[in-house]
């Protein structure tokens, strides 16, 4: 081949490669600096696995590592001291979803969610029946999800009269503020205990240490997926399911537009389907940052004290985040990055 042609070919190749770099796919993003989770997902993408596989592998790594104690076994004990898990996986090419809520005695929550996606027409299975389902298809278990750390955390909470907790408008029936509780209406106003006991309930749980993994990925073939895994909220009332396994709340992905992952006070956030909102905002032309800021502002208008954050990703590989009530960090790895990059997002000044 004559030299000029070789040169032109080389330049063309370089141009294509640089274009891939700036378009930024394949790509994987997730809430918080969960570097090992991103690396695991990125390796899966590099090996040619699908976006769904990469998200499952990434979240699964976080579960095994018990990322920040709020993903996987041994974290966020509920009122009975038990750890239960929420997880979801969404395939943005088909809009198929598999999710598990408050699954018990199974460590591999995201893999259980994937089984729902792969082998059923359902979207969400919960509690003991989700466990039976997952075990029937070969997932490991039953496993004890309690660890020495989660037990110690729960005992300390019991010793602190079960404070804080998620109850409101109730009265404890004993002299501690632990349950069982009765509705406040069932107490007569003349009850001597009323005022004293009223103060014993429901000091609000802070979400300062909340760190769900919500992850989104675009694979080499341009397919998008999103997923979540979390042990939810410490001292939750048994049976509570958070936003993690709720489609459009904890995560969302649509091949036509992009994807989103959320973290924070799931009880509030799921009322707004913030990730669905983000994707629809991007469909209307907003950038990922604008879309995320808009979704957060809708929640903050109604719940000024809520704590939460969002990471958004469009099909071009552009990403952005927004948060309220805390400083947020999210992780990214894409073509041209040697390792995971961490991005920091601050709450809007008006927060």
Cα–Cα dist 330/34, whole Å: 8
CB 61 within 8 A of CB 38: no
Our CB check for ligand SD4 shows the closer of 25 and 259 to be: 259
Question: Shortest approach of ligand SD4 to residue 249 CB, angstroms?
Answer: 8
Q: Is 241 labelled as part of a ligand binding site? A: yes
Sign of the Cα torsion 134, 72, 236, 208 reads negative
Q: Is 96 labelled as part of a ligand binding site? A: no
Our CB check for ligand SD4 shows the closer of 70 and 105 to be: 70
Residue 337 makes CB contacts below 8 A (sequence gap 6+) with none
Could you tell me the CA-to-CA distances from 303 to 30, 47, 295, 300 in Å, in that order?
25, 43, 13, 5
Question: Shortest approach of ligand SD4 to residue 307 CB, angstroms?
Answer: 9
The phi, psi pair for 92, rounded to 5°, reads: -75, -10
Question: Shortest approach of ligand SD4 to residue 26 CB, angstroms?
Answer: 25
Question: Shortest approach of ligand SD4 to residue 230 CB, angstroms?
Answer: 5
Sign of the Cα torsion 209, 341, 262, 116 reads negative
Q: Is 243 labelled as part of a ligand binding site? A: yes
Our CB check for ligand SD4 shows the closer of 85 and 171 to be: 85
Q: Is 242 labelled as part of a ligand binding site? A: yes
Cα–Cα dist 308/328, whole Å: 8
Q: Is 321 labelled as part of a ligand binding site? A: no
* Residue 30, H or E segment: strand 27-31
**3-class DSSP assignment, residue 344:** strand
Question: Shortest approach of ligand SD4 to residue 329 CB, angstroms?
Answer: 12
Q: Is 263 labelled as part of a ligand binding site? A: yes
Q: Annotated catalytic, 123? A: no
User: Where do contacts with ligand SD4 occur on this chain (CB under 6 A)?
Assistant: 70, 210-212, 230, 232-233, 242-244, 263-264, 266
Our CB check for ligand SD4 shows the closer of 230 and 294 to be: 230
Which candidate, 189, 218, 313, places its Cα nearest to that of 262? 313
Choosing from 40, 84, 212, 228, which is the catalytic residue?
A: 212
Our CB check for ligand SD4 shows the closer of 98 and 232 to be: 232
Residues with catalytic annotation?
212
Binding residues: 240-243, 263-266
Binding residues for substrate: 240-243, 263-266
């Amino acid at each position: 081949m004559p030299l000029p042609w070789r040169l032109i070919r080389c330049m063309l190749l370089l141009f294509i490669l640089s274009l891939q770099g700036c378009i930024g796919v394949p790509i994987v993003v997730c809430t918080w600096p969960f570097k090992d989770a991103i690396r695991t997902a990125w390796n899966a993408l590099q090996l040619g696995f699908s976006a769904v596989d990469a998200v499952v592998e990434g979240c699964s790594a976080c579960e095994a590592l018990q990322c920040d104690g709020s993903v996987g076994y041994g974290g966020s004990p509920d009122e009975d001291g038990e750890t239960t898990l929420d997880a979801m996986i969404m395939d943005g090419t088909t809009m198929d979803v598999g999710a598990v809520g408050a699954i018990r005695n199974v460590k591999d929550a995201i893999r259980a969610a994937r089984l729902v996606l792969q082998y059923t027409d359902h979207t969400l299975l919960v509690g003991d029946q989700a466990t039976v389902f997952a075990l029937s298809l070969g997932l490991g278990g039953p496993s004890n999800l309690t660890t020495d750390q989660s037990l110690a955390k729960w005992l300390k909470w019991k010793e602190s009269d079960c404070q804080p907790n998620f109850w409101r408008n109730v009265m404890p029936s004993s002299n501690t503020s632990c349950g069982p509780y009765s509705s406040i209406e069932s107490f007569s106003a003349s009850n001597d205990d009323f005022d004293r006991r009223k103060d014993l309930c429901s000091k609000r749980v802070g979400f300062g240490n909340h760190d769900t993994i919500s992850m989104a990925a675009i694979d080499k073939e341009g397919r998008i997926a999103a997923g979540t895994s979390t042990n939810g909220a410490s001292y939750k009332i048994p049976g509570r399911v958070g936003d993690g396994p709720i489609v459009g709340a904890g995560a969302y992905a649509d091949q036509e537009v992009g994807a989103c992952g959320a973290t924070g006070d799931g009880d509030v956030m799921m009322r707004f389907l913030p990730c669905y909102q983000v994707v629809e905002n991007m469909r209307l032309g907003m950038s990922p940052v604008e879309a995320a800021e808009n979704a957060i502002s809708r929640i903050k208008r109604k719940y000024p004290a809520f704590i939460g954050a969002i990471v958004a990703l469009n099909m071009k590989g552009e990403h952005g985040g927004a948060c309220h009530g805390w400083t947020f960090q999210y992780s990214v790895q894409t073509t041209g990055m040697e390792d995971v990059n961490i991005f920091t997002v601050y709450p809007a000044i008006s927060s």
